[in-house]
Amino acid sequence: MPIAERETNFATSGGFISMRKSVRLFLCGIGLASILPVNASAADAQMPRTKYRPPENVTMIALHGTSEAGGLTGRFTMIVDLRSGRYVAQRDYGIYSEATGFDGRLGWKRDRSGASHFLDSDPARAITATEAWLFRRGWCDQSNKAMFEVKPDEKDGEATLTVWNATPKGGIPVLLRFEKANGLLRQSEVSLWSSRLIRHYSDWREIDGVLIPFAEKDEYPEDELVELIKIESAKANPQNVDGKIFERPPNIHDYAINGDKISTTLRYEDDGVGRIFVPVFIDDKGPYPFEIDTGGHLILTSATAEKLT
């Protein structure tokens, strides 16, 4: 269970509310997901049966570029298995890095504290199923098991969009908006825990017979969060990719309970509104009051960090 250090006194501490909000950006903002083969056309009413799959000899795509989010700019990399939907997406902003992925069975996340965990609740499994379906372009699948519903056309500026509501097997619904003129995917939209995630795709380029959007804007309207992804290079069938790259990273072991115990009982402080604080020692210094927060990270205040350096 991640814990965050208390910033002020129990009665006034509010420094962890905005942290929860900022973390949502990375829950499911996994990168350039929608890759279409050249000459694709999704504008007709038979979209679920249209066979515009990637070339048979292209089974994997590797993307490298940049990510801008929360005032930070960092490196972005993503590898997608176009057959199984396995993927790994990594973001490195220098001061912290994080990753998300799907190993073919469960989704996982490595957060900014370095800890990793499976996304194994029923809602999280459904979100992952749709993400993996999008990333492998499941709507192109010849043996598609998703449910499709055509929606009325929409306008986006001068463009007319053909809209489909798709529900992959075991997944959550996703709106797919294709440009009617050329069949390219312009947007995908899903509803997450507390906000929608709308991905805007543009700057399509052909790589080895496959079209890839080299620009993506991931927008969370209700959370007022945005991530901009720009791809600098893309490669079909990258060499020497170990399948273990899709597996959840092992957890780091930089913390422990005194005496190397696996559990313990200790006194805690309560701020009266539901927040719990426990004493923590860092490099034998302390104790420092840390807030137990299931959605948080191992975070220090600037003052405490200065004391420890």
Q: What is the pLDDT of residues 133-176, one digit of tens each?
A: 999 988 887 666 889 999 999 999 999 999 999 999 999 999 99
Give the confidence band of 224 by pLDDT, cuts at 50, 70, 90: very high
Dump strand ranges (E) for the chain.
3-5, 36-37, 60-69, 72-81, 87-92, 97-102, 107-110, 116-119, 147-156, 159-167, 174-179, 185-191, 196-207, 210-220, 225-236, 269-270, 276-282, 285-292
Average pLDDT over residues 58-65: 96
User: Highest mean pLDDT: which of 21-30, 271-280, 286-295?
Assistant: 271-280
Q: Are residues 201 and 281 in the same domain?
A: no
Q: Which domain holds residue 263?
A: 3-18+253-308
Q: What integer pLDDT is reported at residue 32 of this predicted model?
A: 52
Query: pTM for the full model?
Result: 0.74
Q: Are residues 215 and 231 in the same domain?
A: yes
Structural domains in the chain (count): 2
Give the confidence band of 295 by pLDDT, cuts at 50, 70, 90: low
Q: What integer pLDDT is reported at residue 246 of this predicted model?
A: 97
Phi-psi region of 272 (alpha: psi -120 to 50; beta: other; left: phi over 0): left
Q: Are residues 57 and 107 in the same domain?
A: yes
| Res 96 pLDDT > 80 | yes
Q: Are residues 160 and 41 in the same domain?
A: yes
Dist CA 11 CA 14 (whole Å): 9
Q: Are residues 164 and 273 in the same domain?
A: no
